[in-house]
Amino acid sequence: MKRLIALPILLFFSCFTSSFTTSSAADTIAANQNITDGKTIVSSGGNYEMGFFSPGNSTRRYFGIWYNKISKGRVVWVANRETPIANKSGVFKVDERGILMLYNQNNSVIWSSNSSRQARNPVAQLLETGNLVVRNVDDNSLENIFWQSFHHPGNTFLPGMKVGRIAPGLDVIISSWKSADDPSPGKYVFEVDPKRLELVVNDNSDLRSRSGPWNGIGFSGLPYLKPDPIYNYTFVFNDEIAYFTYDLFNISVITTLVLYEDGVMNRLTWIDRINNWIVYASAPADNCDNYNLCGAYGRCNIGTSPACSCLNRFVPKNQAQWQMADWSGGCIRRTPLDCKIGDGFIKYSNVKLPQGNNWMVNISMTTEECRAECLKNCSCMAYANSDLRGKGSGCFLWFDQDLIDIRQYTDDGQDLYIRMAASEAGN
């Protein structure tokens, strides 16, 4: 996520049109209790509140969770995103099995949770993290909870939440609202691509933006995403899981990630001094973050005009289109490959690594072994280190494809070695 250089942008908005009545209830409700419209529960330290609300200018009622201690406490989770209640007759309950149930004015269940296990003596608890969990009354272990809202988020990625494939068969995604008045799922989704090891925003089925693959210290397309005094982030992956998470060093800081209706992922931070939210960072941050703007073997550099150019030793595939600022055709090698005569590699520095539909990751190879492996396979088009820690190790290999969505940085990018004809590579 690119750090914004400009002054923070104030977000002058209010998350609800209705006022909320804070109850003096504890942070849990048992199977014999309920929450009716106009009553709420608050987490133990007061960070979050849960109850019924109306978003924006809507009069429809939803059940959700919002920030409690700040004046513009935006909603962070909604239960009945697609099934609003027409009036203030809604009731939220926990049944004897540990299933959360939401009833409308007709006493019909319009939303419910699910669990593969049945609770003995269940309670629903709103934690200080903003996570709503269902557990047995005598068991506080997070490992033993039956259901949690962190596994079913809306448009908000809270600290401590995991997004991606957090277990076999369990993928957690963030989806935008349709509008400020309608929390039902919009057309944008933020998720982890477990095959390419990167963060992506999809516009329905089309890719909107991507972070580039994880390289051990960050994502190659998010060079400004670095550890700082406010939060720490982690990317975890193996053959079965691939998820991204972040935690706060200072829990008094109020910050979160929100996927907006336009597909932009904003990190918001609450500033007491101005009594408002600011945009701390944003992705996509500029035009070069939009997916594949410059076509195959084109590179996007936000500091040049036009932003698109061909990589060194490549030429536009369609010169006429290129001169009309239509870069979708991309670029081609000015000298074709000839594996029989012998190819080599050219290093392109400080770039965002390209997308790979057909690629391989080998974490045990050295850089030289990576080069040798790619050189002996005529279908291997490029390689790069998969882990930049220390002197660099591991290997990304791209096969049988044009390389797309490459971005040029002044610094902090990554080295990419692209296969070239012997005469171009100087072999």
Q: Tell me, what's the pLDDT at 426?
A: 73
Domain with CATH 2.90.10.10 in the chain: 2-285
Residue 231 in this model has a pLDDT that exceeds 50: yes
Q: 309 — alpha (psi -120 to 50), left (phi > 0) or beta?
A: beta
Q: Tell me, what's the pLDDT at 26?
A: 86
Of 151-155, 225-229, 249-253, 289-293, least confident by mean pLDDT is 225-229
Residue 226 in this model has a pLDDT that exceeds 90: no
Q: Tell me, what's the pLDDT at 223?
A: 83
Going by C-beta distance under 8 Å and a sequence separation of 6 or more, which residues neighbour residue 106?
none
CA 306 – CA 409 distance, rounded (Å): 15
Confidence of residue 2 (pLDDT cuts 50, 70, 90): very low
Q: Please count the helices (runs of H) and the strands (runs of E) in the chain.
A: 3, 35
Residue 386 in this model has a pLDDT that exceeds 90: yes
Q: Tell me, what's the pLDDT at 230?
A: 85
Tokens of residue 234, six digits = 């982690």
Residue 5 in this model has a pLDDT that exceeds 50: no
* 8 secondary structure, DSSP code: P
CATH number of 2-285, picked from 3.40.605.10, 1.10.3720.10, 2.90.10.10, 3.40.50.720: 2.90.10.10
Beta strands in 9-79, from DSSP E residues, in sequence order: 28-30, 34-36, 41-42, 48-53, 62-67, 75-78
CB-CB contact of 162 with 243 (8 Å): yes
Mean pLDDT confidence for 99-111: 95
Q: 47 — alpha (psi -120 to 50), left (phi > 0) or beta?
A: alpha
CA 417 – CA 427 distance, rounded (Å): 14
Confidence of residue 141 (pLDDT cuts 50, 70, 90): confident
Confidence of residue 20 (pLDDT cuts 50, 70, 90): very low
Confidence of residue 339 (pLDDT cuts 50, 70, 90): confident
Beta-strand pair 406-408/298-300: parallel
CA 301 – CA 408 distance, rounded (Å): 5
Q: Tell me, what's the pLDDT at 119?
A: 78
pLDDT over 70 percentage in the chain: 94
Mean pLDDT confidence for 64-69: 96
Mean pLDDT confidence for 220-225: 86
Mean pLDDT confidence for 85-114: 94
CB-CB contact of 171 with 144 (8 Å): no
This prediction has a pTM of: 0.89
Confidence of residue 262 (pLDDT cuts 50, 70, 90): very high
Residue 129 in this model has a pLDDT that exceeds 60: yes
Q: Tell me, what's the pLDDT at 14?
A: 36
CB-CB contact of 151 with 172 (8 Å): yes
Q: Tell me, what's the pLDDT at 15?
A: 40
Q: Which residues pair with 407 in a beta bridge?
A: 300, 352
Return the amino acid letter for 239.
D
CA 285 – CA 297 distance, rounded (Å): 22
Residue 115 in this model has a pLDDT that exceeds 80: no
Confidence of residue 241 (pLDDT cuts 50, 70, 90): very high
Mean pLDDT confidence for 292-305: 95
pLDDT over 90 percentage in the chain: 76
HSE-CB for 165 with a 13 A CA cutoff: 14
Confidence of residue 427 (pLDDT cuts 50, 70, 90): low
* 21 secondary structure, DSSP code: P
- Average pLDDT taken over every residue of the chain: 90
Tokens of residue 420, six digits = 């070239």
Q: Tell me, what's the pLDDT at 18?
A: 36
Residue 188 in this model has a pLDDT that exceeds 90: yes
Of 56-60, 78-82, 335-339, 377-381, least confident by mean pLDDT is 335-339
